Structure 1
Amino acid sequence: MTPSGQSLEIGAILMGLAGGLAIFLYGMELLTNALKASTGKRLKNLLARMTTNRFKGVVAGALVTAIIQSSSVTTVLVVGFVSAGLMHLQQSIPIIMGASIGTTITAQIIAFKITHFALLIVALGFAMQFLSRNEVIQRTGTMIFGFGLIFFGMSLMGDATSPLRDYPPFIKFLQEMKHPLYGILASAAFTAVVQSSSATTGVIIVLATQGLISLDQGIALVFGANIGTCVTALLASIGKSREALRTALVHILFNTLGVIVWFWFIPEFATFIRDISPQHPELQGIKRLAAETPRQIANAHTMFNVGNTILFIGFTAWFARLVTWLVPVTEEEKAHKVMPKYLDKTLLDTPSLALDRVRMEIGRMAEHLLPMLRKGVQLAMDGNARELSELNHMDSEVGMLHGPILDYLQELSKGNLSSREAELAHHYLAIASYYENIGDSLKLHLIHVGRKRLAEGLVVGEETRKLIEEMVDTLIQLLEKATQAVTRMNRKPARKVVKAKTEINRLAADIERHVVRRMTADAPRRRLTYQTETELLEALKRVYYFTKRIAKEVLNMDTIKKKEKQETP
C-alpha cells in the first residue's frame, strides 16, 4: 500500500479496475445467456398468464427478470405481447415496473462477500462445461462459471481500488462529490457508457466494500444508475416498432420520475435503510463503513424500485396515455403495413424465445395467404386485368414476411443452439418456405388462368364454378388447421390435414369428370376451356400438397421431444 501523501500507480489501478469490470461483465453475460436459454420459454408463458391485474403483472415482471437477469428481455417479451394484441400497453406497464424490481437481485447477490470462493466457483463451472457432453449439465456449468466470474471480477476491482483508502487526493475528491446531483450525473453517464446498470451497481458496491463511499453517496449513485440504464432501453428501441419505443419511454419516465421524487429525501431514505439493514457497532471508522455499506446500498437499490412501483402503480393509465401522446399512432400503423412484427434481434441469444417469434411471424404469413386463396380463385374466374394485378401485390406481402424470417433463422443458426432448437429452426425454415410456395403457385397459375380467360373470352361454367368453390372452401379450412397446428404446436389439426387427402382427391375427381364431360360436349372452344379449368384445378391441388407438407412438418416435430427426453438425464 502506498503511504499517505504519496502518489499512486494510477495505471495499475485503472488496469485492475478495467480488467475486473470486463470479467464482471463477461460473467454477467454468460450467466444471463445460460439462464435465458434454459428458462426463457417457461418464463414467457408465466408472463402471458399473469396479466389479469396490475399487481400480478408486477410480480411476474419481477420474478422473470430476477431469474433471467435481463430487464431488456422482459421488455422485449412485453412488446411482443402488445404487438400481438395479447395485452394492451396499460397492462404491460406493471410488468415493466416489476422488471425494475427484478434487476435489483443482482445487487443483493453481489453484496454477499463470497469473493474468496470465486475461483473455486469458476473451476466448478468450467469442469461441468468441459467434461460433460449433456446439454443440461453444460448450461448449468455455464451459469456457475459466469457466477464465479462475477465475483472474481469484483475481487479484482476491490484489490485495485483498495490503495485509494489512504490516498488524500481521492478522499478529497469524494468529499467534494457529496452533493447527490454530482453522483447521479456521474453514475448515469457511466451506466450509459457501459450499457449495464448491474456493472455500475457492482462498482458502487466494490467502492463501498473498501469504505470509500458513504450510504448517502451510494444512494445517489444508485439513482444515477437507474437513469443511465434507460439509455439502454432507448437504444434498444431504435429501428424497432413504435410499441417498442413507447415501452422504452415508459421505462424512462418510471425511473426518472422516481429519482426526481426521491432526490429530495435522500437523508431520510438513508436513515430508513440503515434501520432495516444489518449493523456492526463493534467496528469503527472505515472498517464499519466497509462492513455495513455494501448491504445497505443493495437494500437501497431494492427499496427504491419497490417504492417507485408502490408510488406509481395507480398511474398506469396515465403513463399509457402520456407515451401514446408522445409517440402517436401513425397512418402507417393504422394501415397495418406488412413488415416483420415479431422478429426482434434482441432475442437471438435466447433461442427458445426467438423460435417462438418465428412461429408467430409464420402465422402472419398464413393470415395473408388465406384471403389470397379465396380472392385469387375468384379473380381467376371473374376478375378483369386490373384486379388480377392485385395478386402480385398480395403475394409480395407474403414475401415481405418470408425473406426476413429466413434471415432471422440464419442469424439464429449462427448462435449456440441445442440439438432440439436446431431441429426446430430447420422445421420452421421448411414451413415458411411451404407457405411462400403456396403464394408463388397461386400467383403464377391464377394470373395465367385469368389472363388466358380474358384473352380468349372464355367463361367458367356455373357447375364448374360451384365445384371449384367447394374445393376452395375445403382448402381454406385445411390451411387454417395447418396454421393452427404450427402456431399452437398442436398435432391434432395437423393429423386432420393429412387425413383430408381422400376428401381432396374426391373433390378433384368431381371437377375432372365435369371438365371432361364439357370437353366431349358440343361446346364452343371446348379445348381452351378444358385447358384453363384443368390448370385452375392443378393450382388448387398444389395448394393442398404444400398444406399437407406443413402439417407433416408439425407431426415430425414430435420426434424432437422424444430425442430431448433421451438426452435429458
Structure 2
Amino acid sequence: MLLAEVTSDSLQIGPLLMGLLGGLALFLYGLEQMSESLKLIAGDGLKKLLATLTTNRFTAALAGSIVTAIVQSSSVTTVLVVGFISAGLMSLTQSMGIIMGANIGTTITAQLIAFKITHYSLLLVAIGFFTLFGTKNETVRHYGHLIMGFGLIFFGMQLMNDGTAPLRSYAPFVDMMHQMDDPLWAILLAAVFTALVQSSSATTGLVITLAGQGFISLEAGIALIFGANIGTCVTAGLASIGKPREAVRAALAHVLFNVAGVVIWFAFIPQLSQIVTWISPASPELSGLARVAAETPRQIANAHTVFNVANTVLLIGLTTPLAWLVTRLVPESLVSKVEPDHPKYLDPILLQTPSLAMDLVRMELGRLGAAALHMMRGALETVIHGSRQEIDALEELDDHVDALHGAIVTYLGRLSQEQLTDRQSDQLHDYLAVANYLESIGDMIESNLIQAGRERIVNHLTISEETEAILTALNTEVIRATERAIRSIVSGDVEIAREVSAMKATINALSGKAERHLSSRLAAKAPNRLAMYRLESEIMEYVKRMYYFAKRIAKVTMADQAEVAVPEQPEAVECGEAATRDRDREA
C-alpha cells in the first residue's frame, strides 16, 4: 500500500505522485462521466427550466442552481445565459439571478464529495458497469454511466487519500500547509489552480481530501474555497473574448459577483468557521488530528454552501445596479460587433452539453436563414434591372451564406463526436439538412439567377412589365414561405411550418399562371423572342425551386416536433434520404 512509513527527511515521490495524480485523474473522469450522464438524462428540460423560471430574480436564481447542479459547471451556465441574452429571450438584469444561482449549484459537488463512502466506491463502479453493459436501453445505460462516475469520484478520492498519507510525517510539506493559514496566500493559490484546471469542483475535491488527512484547518479550507470561487470565473472570461458585448457583460457580472462575495466574507472567515462548526456533525469520541480529519471535510463543504447561499441572499436585491454597472464598464464602443459571416452563437463550451448546443445551432440557423433571405429579397430586381456592378454585389452576398454554413457544419461535426441520445443524433442530422437547404438557396441565386442576369445584359434583353409583375408575385410568395419556414425551425412552431406546406397550392397556381403567360408570349412578334422565353422560364423555375427548399425546412420542423410529442416512436427523420426523395418527386 501507499501508506508506507517515511522519515521527515525522505519521501517516496513516485508512489506519492501516482496516488495523487492518478486519483485526481479518476476523480475528474468520474465527475465528467456523472456530469455527462446527468446532462443526457435531463435533456431538453434544461432549456425549458430556464425559460419558465426567469420571471423574477428569485426563481432565476433557483433555475441557475438546478442547471449548474446538473451540468456541474457555473461557466457553462454563464455561457448559456449569454445565448439567451443575445437571442433576446432575457435581459441582462434577468440573467443576474441565474448567474448568482449558478454558484449555489456548484456546492452540490462539494456536499457529495464530503460523504465518506469511499469504502463502497468500487461497489458503485461495479453496479454502474454491469448496468451500463447489461442492457441496450439507452436511458438505463445513462444511469449506469451516472453510478459508475459517482463511484469513480470516491475511488479517486481514496487513491488521493492513500497517496498523500505519507506527507503527514514529511516536515517540509507540513510547514507549507501551515502557510495556508494566511488567507490571502490560500485564496491566490486556489484561484490559480482552479483557473489552470478550469474546474472549481477539482479544487474542492482536493481541499476536502487534504482536510481529511488533517493537513489544513477549517479556516484555511474556507480561504481555499474562496479562491476556487474566483478562479472559476476564468473559463467564462476566456470564452467571452472576441464575443459580442452580451458575453463580455455576463462574464464580467460573474467575476464581480464572485469577487464581491469573497471581499464581503474575507474579514469574517473566523465567524463563518464558527457557524459551520455549529451546524456540522461532530465526532466527540475522537481527539487531536483524528477528530480534525473526521470533522473538517463536512465543515468545509457546509462552508462552501453557506458562503454561496449567503452571497446570493445578500446581493440578489442588487441585480439592477449590477447590470447597470457592467453596462457602463462594457459600453458598445469597447466591444467589436459580430461580422455577418462569423457565427454569433456557436460557443465551443456548450459542445459538452448537447441539448443546449442544439439550441445554439438553431439560433445560428436563424442567422443563416436571414443571410439567405437578404439575397432572395434583392435577387429578382437585380436580375431583371441590375447593372453588372449590382449583379457582382449580389454574388458576393453568397460568401456570407457560405461562411455561416461552413461554421454550422463544422460545429455540428464537432458536436457529433460527443455522447448523444438517439433523438439528439436525429436532430443533428435534421439541422445539418436545414443548413444545406439554406446554403442551396444561396448557391441557386449565385449560380443560376446571377447567370441569367448576366445573359440579359450580354444579349440586351428586356423583360416586359407584365412578365415582371407575374414573376414578382411568385417571388414575393416564395420569399414569404421561406421566411416562415426559417421562423418555424428557429421557434419550433409547427403551425407556421404547416402554413408553409399549405402554401404549395398558391405557389403552384402562381407558377402555372406564369407558365401560361410565358407560353402566350412565345408566339408574340418580338426580337429575340426565343432567348427571352428561355431567360424568363429559367428565372421562374429557379424562383419556384426555392420554395421546395422552404417546404423541406418546414417538414423538418414538423417531424422534429412530432418526435418530441411522441417520444416512444423509434422512427427518425433521415433528412438526407428524405430530402432526396422529395426533390426527385417534386422537381
TM-score by length of 2: 0.90
Q: Find out whether 1:350 has 2:346 as its counterpart.
A: no
Q: What's 1:245 paired with?
A: 248
Q: What's 1:162 paired with?
A: 165
What are the superposed Cα offsets for residues 237-296 of structure 1, whole Å, 9 maximum, x if unpaired?
345444333322222222122212211121122122222222233432222212221111
Which structure 2 residues correspond to residues 554-569 of structure 1 after superposition, within 5 A? 554-557=557-560, 564-565=567-568
Q: What's 2:464 paired with?
A: 461
Distance change in 2, residues 1:509/1:197 (3 Å): same
Q: What's 2:191 paired with?
A: 188
Q: Of the candidates 48, 52, 58, which is equivalent to residue 51 of structure 2?
A: 48
Q: What's 1:362 paired with?
A: 365
Which structure 2 residues correspond to residues 255-404 of structure 1 after superposition, within 5 A? 255-330=258-333, 337-404=340-407
- Contact 2:179–2:185 at 8 Å: present in 1 too? no
Q: Of the candidates 141, 146, 155, which is equivalent to residue 138 of structure 1?
A: 141
Q: How far 1:325 sits from its partner (Å)?
A: 4.0
Distance change in 2, residues 1:440/1:464 (3 Å): same
Q: What's 1:488 paired with?
A: 491
- Contact 1:192–1:232 at 8 Å: present in 2 too? yes
Q: Find out whether 1:506 has 2:513 as its counterpart.
A: no
Q: What SS does the corresponding residue of 2:136 show, helix, strand or coil?
A: coil
Q: How far 1:342 sits from its partner (Å)?
A: 1.6
C-alpha separation in 1, matches of 2:184 and 2:142: 42
Q: What SS does the corresponding residue of 1:150 show, helix, strand or coil?
A: helix
Q: How far 1:548 sits from its partner (Å)?
A: 2.3
Q: Find out whether 1:445 has 2:448 as its counterpart.
A: yes
The percent of aligned pairs where both chains have the same amino acid is: 52
Q: How far 1:565 sits from its partner (Å)?
A: 1.3
- Contact 2:362–2:431 at 8 Å: present in 1 too? yes
Q: What's 2:211 paired with?
A: 208
Q: How far 1:110 sits from its partner (Å)?
A: 0.9
Q: What's 1:472 paired with?
A: 475
The one-letter amino acid paired with 1:459 is: T
C-alpha separation in 2, matches of 1:187 and 1:557: 45
The one-letter amino acid paired with 1:486 is: I
What are the superposed Cα offsets for residues 461-480 of structure 1, whole Å, 9 maximum, x if unpaired?
22222222221221122112
Q: What's 1:222 paired with?
A: 225
Q: What's 1:26 paired with?
A: 29
The one-letter amino acid paired with 2:54 is: T
What are the superposed Cα offsets for residues 51-108 of structure 1, whole Å, 9 maximum, x if unpaired?
2222221111011111221222212211111121212223212211110111011111
C-alpha separation in 1, matches of 2:522 and 2:29: 74
Structure 1 runs of 4+ off > 6 angstroms?
none
C-alpha separation in 2, matches of 1:337 and 1:505: 34
The one-letter amino acid paired with 2:319 is: T
C-alpha separation in 2, matches of 1:176 and 1:348: 40
Q: How many residues align?
A: 568
- Contact 1:423–1:560 at 8 Å: present in 2 too? no
Q: What's 1:553 paired with?
A: 556
Greater mean alpha carbon deviation, residues 381-390 or residues 208-217: 381-390
Q: What's 2:535 paired with?
A: 532
The one-letter amino acid paired with 1:139 is: H
Q: Of the candidates 424, 427, 432, which is equivalent to residue 424 of structure 1?
A: 427
Q: What SS does the corresponding residue of 1:502 show, helix, strand or coil?
A: helix
The one-letter amino acid paired with 1:18 is: L
C-alpha separation in 2, matches of 1:456 and 1:168: 93
Q: What SS does the corresponding residue of 1:340 show, helix, strand or coil?
A: coil
Q: How far 1:388 sits from its partner (Å)?
A: 2.3
TM-score by length of 1: 0.93
What are the superposed Cα offsets for residues 432-456 of structure 1, whole Å, 9 maximum, x if unpaired?
1111111111233332333333344
Q: What's 1:433 paired with?
A: 436
Greater mean alpha carbon deviation, residues 434-443 or residues 525-534: 525-534
C-alpha separation in 2, matches of 1:549 and 1:192: 46
Greater mean alpha carbon deviation, residues 90-99 or residues 384-393: 384-393
Q: How far 1:329 sits from its partner (Å)?
A: 2.3
- Contact 1:44–1:77 at 8 Å: present in 2 too? no
Q: What SS does the corresponding residue of 1:87 show, helix, strand or coil?
A: coil
The one-letter amino acid paired with 1:534 is: S
Greater mean alpha carbon deviation, residues 222-231 or residues 379-388: 379-388
Q: Find out whether 1:81 has 2:111 as its counterpart.
A: no
Q: What's 1:497 paired with?
A: 500
Q: How far 1:397 sits from its partner (Å)?
A: 1.9
C-alpha separation in 2, matches of 1:298 and 1:331: 40
